[in-house]
Amino acid sequence: MDLGLGGKTVIVTGGASNIGRAISLTFAKEGSNVVVADWDDVQAQKVTDEIKAMGGKVLTIKTDVTDWEQAQNMVNKALSEFGQVDILVNSVGGTFDQYFMEEPREKWSRTINMNLWGMINCTRAVLDHMIQRKSGVVVSIGSDAGRVGEFKEGIYSACKAGVIALSKSLARELGRNGIRFNVVCPGLTPPKVQEIGEKSHWQQQLATFTPEVLEKAAKAYPLRKVGKPGDTANAVVFLASDCAGYITGQTLSVSGGYTMI
């Protein structure tokens, strides 16, 4: 199936590690021009090298998505290099489980900045260009936590619910401009060591993903397995493609049936 992504330009925020990395590589395989936007420039360069080895066109931009000016700079550099931006994938996100009553306010702020403000900044930064062209796709990584409210993930759940609601609102507002917005909600997707950078939040959790822990976690899923980065990447690439041209304002769980929503 031809997804019609050849020659299109995609920005993938958090595009250097785990799910973001898989998304970057999958778009590259489809012949897209890939902008790897990540604050971990060392890991981003590794992904860039992988894409170049495939013969793909790629640009790395060091970006902290919580900073509005850096989000604008990201889009401007992508436009300067490739002339247009067809797709934005908001892939930055993460949390560390903790009871709401025990979480310090500083952690609330970090979680909100990374999971909600980052998505807002990058989406707003790219929209003027997409509106002018009357074409564009924004796919954001959500979470089933935002659909059901996950245990020990209160603020994170609120942020991901915000990502889902904002995407629906913008789908209604900007559909007339030919812009589509959708959300993909992954299940637990533990990375391999070589798939993440030193600055990734996953570094602090790798040691906890023992075979025993993952086996126990898998039992919570109807399919009895945890996710792989490619599972989410495939869904994102489909929603960004011409094949999904009549799909907007939707939230797709790629989580092994965890929520059954």
- Looking up residue 181, the CATH number of its domain turns out to be 3.40.50.720
- Residue-averaged pLDDT of the chain: 93
Catalytic residue among 156, 221, 246, 258: 156
CA distance 59 to 77: 9
Kindly indicate the confidence band of residue 95, based on its pLDDT and cuts at 50, 70 and 90: confident
Residues sharing a CB contact under 8 Å with residue 2, sequence separation 6 or more, in sequence order: none
Q: Is residue 1 part of a domain?
A: no
Tell whether the model's pLDDT for residue 217 goes beyond 90: no
Candidate from 35-44, 63-72, 113-122, 219-228 with smallest mean pLDDT: 219-228
Per-residue pLDDT averaged across 18-38, rounded? Answer: 97
Kindly indicate the confidence band of residue 94, based on its pLDDT and cuts at 50, 70 and 90: confident
In terms of residue numbers, what domain contains 16?
Answer: 9-254
Q: Is residue 261 part of a domain?
A: no
Report percent pLDDT > 90 for the chain: 77
Tell whether the model's pLDDT for residue 205 goes beyond 70: no
pLDDT given for residue 181 in this prediction: 98
Q: Is residue 3 part of a domain?
A: no
Per-residue pLDDT averaged across 142-149, rounded? Answer: 92
Q: Is residue 80 part of a domain?
A: yes
Residues sharing a CB contact under 8 Å with residue 241, sequence separation 6 or more, in sequence order: 3, 4, 5, 30
User: In Å, how far are 94, 132, 205, 222, 238 from 200, measured between CA atoms?
Assistant: 9, 35, 10, 29, 26
Q: Is 221 a catalytic residue?
A: no
Residues sharing a CB contact under 8 Å with residue 180, sequence separation 6 or more, in sequence order: 136, 137, 138, 171, 239, 244, 245, 247, 248
CA distance 67 to 223: 39
Q: Is residue 235 part of a domain?
A: yes
pLDDT given for residue 118 in this prediction: 98
Q: Is residue 197 part of a domain?
A: yes
Q: Is residue 205 part of a domain?
A: yes
Residues sharing a CB contact under 8 Å with residue 189, sequence separation 6 or more, in sequence order: 18, 19, 226, 227, 228, 229, 231, 232
Residues sharing a CB contact under 8 Å with residue 19, sequence separation 6 or more, in sequence order: 91, 141, 186, 189, 229, 232, 233
Q: How many domains does the chain have?
A: 1
